[in-house]
Structure 1
Amino acid sequence: MLQNTLLKIEHNMSSLKLQPPEKRKLVEILSYYQKNSYLYPGTIQRHTGASLDESYIFLKELEKIGILEKAYEVICPNCNGTLDIYDSLNEIPDSIICNNCDHEFHPFNYALVIFKVINE
């Protein structure tokens, strides 16, 4: 991410109750993300100690200021393999067969919210 984007992110960290060292670490981690890469709430949680709820709130704030947008990762309930990532819920098919284990299921129930970088 570009420096001016990282400055915007720093100003939007209020939802994460972090100490300055954790904030700096988070900015450093986010600096490696480029346009069209995916950011998982669990990444924020792991590197900062924030709760998963706080991580989602923070990422939604970045979505509001135009840095990220939601995406949906479909996970097979049988083998836990990632099948695909969709930019919209409307793109998710009604039924899908896992490429890894041939399990057929309704993917809408197994779509995780992740975030896509849209602005460097």
Structure 2
Amino acid sequence: MEKQLGKIIQLQKIADRRGNLTVAEQLKDVPFEIKRAYWVYDVPGGESRGGHAHKALYQLLVAMSGSFTVTLDDGTTKQQFLLNHPWEGLLITPGIWRTLDDFSSGAVCLCLASELYEPDDYIYDYQEFLKYKHV
């Protein structure tokens, strides 16, 4: 069985002829308390986002519009996820390196985070990440 580095979470999609609605409630749909939300958009063609890991932070990434690919890496295994539905979120646990690539035109990535911004929680150097993971 292949090791799973991330988990796609199905969020409630309420279909309505006037427009669909999706809900993400902390500790119900999202398995952590949401302390911060931010979004990434207007990513130029060919650019990447992410390129780091977190020591303690949990995240749920959602493609609010368009699509992008998330590559997760625990130091020994890599796994890719295509996010392209606003009713699905990718749960990323601490200690996982992530990169976001292949943004479609108009793509918007929403991130729900378990903690407030803390610079010391980030690992930006991949070799330091491997040391942190004892790989």
User: TM-score normalised to the size of structure 1?
Assistant: 0.28
Larger radius of gyration: 1
Task: Name the one with the larger helix percent.
Answer: 1
User: TM-score normalised to the size of structure 2?
Assistant: 0.26
